[in-house]
Structure 1
Amino acid sequence: MIVMLVRNKEPYLPYTLTQLSELDYPKERLALWIHSDHNEDRSAELLAAWLAEYRPLYRSVHAVLNTTSPPLRPDESSAIDMSEGRYRDVIKLKEDALTAARRIWADFVWFLDADVILHEAAVLRQLIEMRKPVVAPMLRTHGAYSNFWAGMDDNFYYRRTEEYGQIYGSKKRGCFSVPMVHSCVLVNLLSTRSDGLTFVREKLPAPIGPTSDDVITFALSARQAGMEMHVCNQRDFGQMPIPLRSPEVLGKEWLNIVNIKLEMMVDHPPPPVASVLRPFVPDPPEKTKLGFDHIYMIGLARRPDRRRRMLLAFDELGIDAETVDAVDGRQLNDSALAELGVAMLRDYRDPINDRRLTFGEIGCFLSHHRVWSDMVAHGYERIIVFEDDLRFASYFHYRLERLMAEVDALNLDWDLIYLGRKIMRTDEEWVAGAQRLVHPSYTYWTLAYALTRRGAEKLLKEEPLGKMIAVDEYLPIMFGQHPNTGWAAQFSGAGSLLAYSASPLLVTPIKYTGEPGYVSDTEDAGTIGAELEGTCSVDGCPTPAN
């Protein structure tokens, strides 16, 4: 039996209900127990529409959709207030659902929150196959919050542990015994010990813990019944939002579902929506240039998966961007570069790998160079440049707005602002009077940045194609933070670029080196031949590899 309590979950329900209808599990073997009340949104209407379509397919359906209850209980100050009355009602409803599951001799009962977005249709089968008495798939959020505790203190509340970070960060994988799980919990009722499970403190053999907390009481009942709780993280099972807290408002849930969808699309297709629920999904936001003159997105044409994901992300965020085909390093060779007038910087070797530039790195530089040139040709004053291998931070649109408002309030004279990069030092200085801006030190990556026309003109004036290095080496030279003074000395404008960085960053890579699915189109490519290194030192050019 699947249990779902619903209150003010309109942003999530088109996706959570669709995932129920698409579960890889026979519907004739599933019972549903659904209750919804005290809504300020269209949650009840959504449930009614979905049930009208799918109710006949399930073994049994118990659904109470209370459309006459007031938006707030008498002791609630807001719809997100966890008042005593709210706890009391939730405890009763969950206990009633557990009793109903026992009454129909259900083998399992699955308590599933209405805002949990699961990534795979097979998740119920996967949980059953884990053969645990009480099990939850680990769910991610846009922070460090999840649906389990790895520690509980003597007062039965959360205790920070090292193990939590290891499990949540997937530093170790498997199923782990934990003191508490919630939000997406499968309970094996075939075990006779499950008779001791309860949400009601007074029913505990040894009544301990807070008087009104359904989650903690259930965890204590499992402990007293000898039923271990487990959280499992072998797969990327799904996501959940961080619960709202006062003074936040319900409207933030519309932002949270966008965060979840963006994260889901990093490794999975966008969440589907059943046809009967599509009328409840709002239209995408109107696209804008976010207060800039133009936005570019650089991506390889042979990476349609990345491009498709970025275009879907732009739809969700309301970003009007021009797609720019990156120069593909696979299509370059020494002769083509000679025709373009590309020559390597004297004495350049990659600082980490001790090698020449790869064709992928050259293609990356050429791609950014073309964007800078296009910006100047069109007379754009301020642009944003995105690469296609990034993931957006939560609430990206609003973080960017606040960042640029701070730039304007400080009357900051700037050429470039990093929105995403690899930070090489942790002691970077804050910009005076700023809360979101730092002075960047030596920095890698060009995931995303804002650029002024003056900044583009400075970058182009150096004619860097004739003394090329990796683009993320070139930028630190131009803002005076590169440790190799010999390279910097070959650029007359070194140190002239006025560069800053968002802090915290607004984008990060979709994958880091070593993570499953990591691919580099710049590093995993052949290196140039020595014939292009026409400016090698008097000691001679390194011999090309055979």
Structure 2
Amino acid sequence: MRSESNELLSIFDRIYIINLAHRDDRRREMDAELRRIGLSLDHPAIRMFPASFPPDQGDFPTRGARGCFESQLGVHRAILADGVTRALMLEDDASFVPDFRALLAAIGDDLRWVDWDMLYSVSPLDQQPGDEAVGRHLLRLSPDHTFPLAHFVGFSRRFSETAVPYLEAIYGRKPGDPAGGPMHVDGAYCWLRADRPDLTILGTRKPLAVQRSSRSDIAELRFWDRLPVLRQVTAAARRSPAVLRMLHMLRGRK
């Protein structure tokens, strides 16, 4: 049986990890995640991509939305500049699921024979009207099947060739423009998919990665992240499933 690293690199020629330059903690955590599957940040197929840290929100809904949008647009430009055929983009708070190896092996063959343009693996997916099953573990998503998050997404070069001018146009418009103004990047991908139904968009029924709970540098910080001592305790506690559940409950009461 192939190792997780060989399986992953048989699908993607390059892995881009979006990371803020001053977030050493997330780099260490991401390196630990990669080592779980036989890779590391030192592997030649892996590139740390500097995340955007904008001074303000500009015309975007939030400062964080602007930073994510600029960062992912930058990854698409890098894919084209680097001559990559298929790339995986990870945000630095992505965490591989416990059964990553089995899931990746199950979808690997299908991903190699389908000429896909975008691969979502960010949340559980149920088949919706217009979707088509691809094997047992993948769905060919209709343009109407939309959902948030973009922490584990694969792209073909063809998709990036489309995405760069499309995202640049959104970035340059004013809010509320009927053609699509500044918005969250996952929303922009949904707009692109609706405008380009010829692109083949796949989703995994079960996600290959989830998001680690981690302090944000751009979103408004909660009290436990603003106090230095509590910040250190919280960083360690976030790895506890019980604490994660408590934090999610607190967020839901906001």
Question: TM-score higher than 0.5 here?
Answer: yes
Q: Distance in 1 between matches of 2:128 and 2:95?
A: 23
Q: Distance in 1 between matches of 2:73 and 2:66?
A: 10
SS at match of 1:328: coil
Alignment of 1:444-483 (within 5 A): 444-462=148-166, 463=168, 464-467=170-173, 468-480=182-194
- Counterpart of 1:431 in structure 2 is 132
- Counterpart of 1:69 in structure 2 is none
Determine if contact 1:297/1:386 at 8 Å carries over to the other structure: yes
> Given residue 449 of structure 1, which amino acid in structure 2 is its aligned partner?
V
Note the alpha carbon deviations across 1:7-31, whole angstroms, 9 max, x for none.
Answer: xxxxxxxxxxxxxxxxxxxxxxxxx
Q: Distance in 1 between matches of 2:134 and 2:200?
A: 17
Superposition deviation, residue 360 in structure 1? 1.5
Determine if contact 1:438/1:503 at 8 Å carries over to the other structure: yes
Q: Please, what is the CA RMSD of the aligned residues?
A: 2.8
> Given residue 128 of structure 2, which amino acid in structure 1 is its aligned partner?
E
SS at match of 1:290: helix
Determine if contact 2:126/2:205 at 8 Å carries over to the other structure: no
Superposition deviation, residue 519 in structure 1? 3.6
Superposition deviation, residue 495 in structure 1? 3.7
- Counterpart of 1:323 in structure 2 is 48
Q: Distance in 2 between matches of 1:359 and 1:303?
A: 17
> Given residue 371 of structure 1, which amino acid in structure 2 is its aligned partner?
V
Please state if 1:303 is matched with 2:23: yes
Q: Distance in 2 between matches of 1:521 and 1:498?
A: 34
Sequence identity (%) = 25
> Given residue 53 of structure 2, which amino acid in structure 1 is its aligned partner?
D
Bigger RCO of structures 1 and 2 (CA < 8 A, at least 6 apart): 2
> Given residue 50 of structure 2, which amino acid in structure 1 is its aligned partner?
D
SS at match of 1:314: helix
SS at match of 1:312: helix
- Counterpart of 2:86 in structure 1 is 382
1:288–1:499: structure 2 CA closer, same or farther, 3 Å change rule?
closer
Superposition deviation, residue 413 in structure 1? 2.9
Q: Distance in 2 between matches of 1:286 and 1:453?
A: 21
> Given residue 74 of structure 2, which amino acid in structure 1 is its aligned partner?
R
Determine if contact 1:428/1:438 at 8 Å carries over to the other structure: no
Superposition deviation, residue 520 in structure 1? 4.1
Q: Distance in 1 between matches of 2:134 and 2:96?
A: 26
Q: Distance in 2 between matches of 1:458 and 1:465?
A: 15
- Counterpart of 1:48 in structure 2 is none
Superposition deviation, residue 445 in structure 1? 0.6
Residue 77 of structure 2, aligned match among 368, 373, 378: 373
- Counterpart of 1:154 in structure 2 is none
> Given residue 469 of structure 1, which amino acid in structure 2 is its aligned partner?
M
- Counterpart of 1:416 in structure 2 is 118
1:522–1:419: structure 2 CA closer, same or farther, 3 Å change rule?
farther
When the two structures are superposed, what TM-score results if normalisation uses the length of structure 2? 0.68
- Counterpart of 1:524 in structure 2 is 220
> Given residue 315 of structure 1, which amino acid in structure 2 is its aligned partner?
R
Superposition deviation, residue 386 in structure 1? 0.6
Unpaired stretches in structure 1, ≥5 consecutive residues: 1-250, 256-284, 338-343, 345-355, 481-492, 512-517, 526-546
Superposition deviation, residue 418 in structure 1? 0.7
Q: Aligned residue pairs: how many?
A: 200
Higher helix share: 2
- Counterpart of 1:127 in structure 2 is none
Alignment of 1:322-401 (within 5 A): 322-329=47-54, 332-333=55-56, 344=59, 357-401=61-105
Unpaired stretches in structure 2, ≥5 consecutive residues: 174-181, 222-254
Determine if contact 1:448/1:507 at 8 Å carries over to the other structure: yes
